[in-house]
Amino acid sequence: DNTEALEPHMLFNDTGIYELIAVLTHKGMFADSGHYVAYVRNGNQDNWLQYDDKSVNPCNFEDVKKLSGKGGGDWHTAYLCLYRTKHFHVDNPKPDEKMDTQ
């Protein structure tokens, strides 16, 4: 059970919004053959890295969006997508300020 190592705020998504952080692709007709490539977001930055066997190359999100294409034997198709919670930081109101709840 790894939940003991997590901070309590990491166990739920209070925004309901997620962001894409990685895509594993497959090119080929069958799952037990073909070629797999991973596209991973580089930290909190907007640039991405393409992991293809032993090579790692920079790419951009436009390249990643093309993975939702035709599929089949000649195209890399998104096979597994990984997301994380998107947090928004809001300054706490001063104690003497009332929040409008309407």
Residue 101 banded pLDDT, cuts 50, 70, 90: very low
Cα 49 from Cα 39, distance rounded (Å): 6
Percent of residues, the chain, with pLDDT higher than 90: 24
CA distance 5 to 39: 27
Q: Give the pLDDT of residue 102.
A: 45
| Confidence label for 58 from pLDDT (cuts 50, 70 and 90) | very high
Whether pTM > 0.75 for this model: the answer is no
More confident residue, 36 or 86: 36
